[in-house]
Amino acid sequence: MTSLGDIDTAVQELRLEAHHKAFAQKLAHIVTAIGTIPDDPPPGFTADSLIRLRELADETVDAVERRLVSAVDTEQEGQRLAGTVYEIRRRMEVVELWFRHRESA
């Protein structure tokens, strides 16, 4: 289980990371953490938690987009990073559906 605090820390570190390999590793950690929430939610995951997770996902996408604009990575690396934007959005949709279903049950 990953807490929102862990994801927050990883996002802040991602925003400062200059090296591609470390950036990609931190990004993979964030994407994985978002994906595990429906299966293993942090204790007390509330509507406010979901709002904060959306903000963190948006910050992650912003960090990826800024890196893509800076063109510091190879074209192939950039394409892989761009693919993570879609994956983050997809995983957030899954989390939001799970949350709505859990709240209505």
Q: What is the pLDDT of residues 44-97, one digit of tens each?
A: 899 999 999 999 999 999 999 999 999 888 899 989 999 999 999 999 999 999
pLDDT band for 1, please (50, 70, 90 cuts).
Answer: low
Global pTM value:
0.92
Q: What is the pLDDT of residues 37-56, one digit of tens each?
A: 999 888 889 999 999 999 99
Cα–Cα distance measured from residue 3 to residue 8, given in angstroms and rounded to the nearest whole number: 9
